[in-house]
A = this chain, B = another copy of it.
Amino acid sequence: MAFSIGELSRRAGVKVPTIRYYEAAGLMPPAPRSDGGQRRYGRADAERLTFIRHARELGFEPEAIRELLDLTAHPEQSCATIDAIAARHLREVERRIASLGRLRDELARMIGECGHGRIGDCRVVETLADHAHCAGEHP
C-alpha cells in the first residue's frame, strides 16, 4: 500500500532529492512518516508527482503548477482559469520562439556575410563589436 520515496521516484520518474525539494517548495504536500521517520506515499502522490513532472517538461513554472494543482482539487468548477494559465504559457512560449528566431536570423546573417579570411576582417567579430551592423533590434 504505502511505499517509499525511492519507489515513488521510480514510478513518477523524478529523482529522490527533487521530490524532497518539491515538498519543501510546497508542490508536494508534507508526506506522512513511518515510525522511523521515513516518508510514505500512496497512489495519489504518484499521480500528483507525475502531473508535476509532465507540466515541468511542458515548461510550466512551479508557481503555475501550484495554481493548476489547487484548481484540480475542485473538479466541479469551470476550467476557464486552467485554460487561461495554459494559454498564458503558450503565449510566453511563442514570445520566446519569436525572440530566438530574430537571434537565429542575426547569427545566420553575420556568419553568412563573413568571407572566412583573417580575424582582422571577420564579419562575425565586426558585428559583435558593433550593434550597428545588426539588421534589427534584439532584447
Q: Which residues in chain A, 84-99, are within 8 Å of chain B measured between CB atoms?
A: 86-87, 89-90, 93-94, 96-97
A72 touches B104 (CB 8 A): no
Closest Cβ of chain B: how far from A44's Cβ, in Å? Answer: 12
Of A18-26, A27-35, A124-132, the one contacting chain B is A124-132
Inter-chain CA distance A106–B58, complex, in Å, is 8
State which size class the interface on A falls in. Answer: 35 or more
Residues of B near A86 (CB, < 8 A) are 107, 110-111, 124
CB < 8 Å neighbour of A58 from B83, B87, B103: B103
Across the two chains, which residue of chain B brings its CB closest to A131?
Answer: B54
Say yes or no: is A36 at the interface (Cβ < 8 Å to chain B). Answer: no
Residues of B near A51 (CB, < 8 A) are 128-129
Closest Cβ of chain B: how far from A46's Cβ, in Å? Answer: 11
6 new A-B contacts, CB < 8 A, other than A55-B128, A75-B118, A93-B100, are A75-B120, A76-B119, A83-B124, A87-B111, A90-B111, A97-B100
